[in-house]
Amino acid sequence: GDSVTQMEGPVTLSEEAFLTINCTYTATGYPSLFWYVQYPGEGLQLLLKATKADDKGSNKGFEATYRKETTSFHLEKGSVQVSDSAVYFCALSVLPSYDKVIFGPGTSLSVIP
């Protein structure tokens, strides 16, 4: 079945460090890929998305490229801030039916000053 795997957390980085959170997926169809972010005490919100191979999603300095050949969608940011501390979820949704978004387990990120 369709699934998403993320790197284990928690991840702790110093401010201005480079961030990579790995995400790989298994899908029987043609998935759209997402990164959601959950700040403390809040619900999940969409951070970025990519709907086809080689697309790059970007938002708030975060980027992820849809790599069909490696079935990956790694999240990167060149310089993290304390305000980026949150839990990050990789997710997919498979065409032709958007009836379910399948989430990875989440990766907790803590950025220290």
Binding residues for other proteins, rule: CB under 8 A, are 32, 34, 36, 42-46, 49, 51, 89, 93, 98-101, 103, 105-106
How far is it, in rounded angstroms, from Cα 111 to Cα 113? 7
Instruction: Compare residues 1 and 113 and give the one whose CB is closer to other proteins.
Output: 1
Rounded Cα–Cα distance for residues 18 and 11 (Å)? 12
Residues near 20 by beta carbon (within 8 Å), at least 6 away in sequence = 74, 75, 76
Q: Tell me if residue 84 falls in helix, strand or coil.
A: helix
Nearer to other proteins, 57 or 77 (CB): 57
Q: Give the closest residue to 32 by CA, choosing from 105, 111, 90.
A: 90
Is 9 or 17 the residue whose CB approaches other proteins more closely? 9
Shortest distance (Å) from residue 63 CB to other proteins: 18
Question: Minimum Å distance from CB 70 to other proteins?
Answer: 21
The smaller minimum CB distance to other proteins, of residues 16 and 54, is found at: 54
Report which of 19, 52, 15 is spatially closest to residue 33, judged by C-alpha positions: 52
Task: Supply the minimum distance, in Å, between the C-beta of residue 108 and other proteins.
Answer: 10
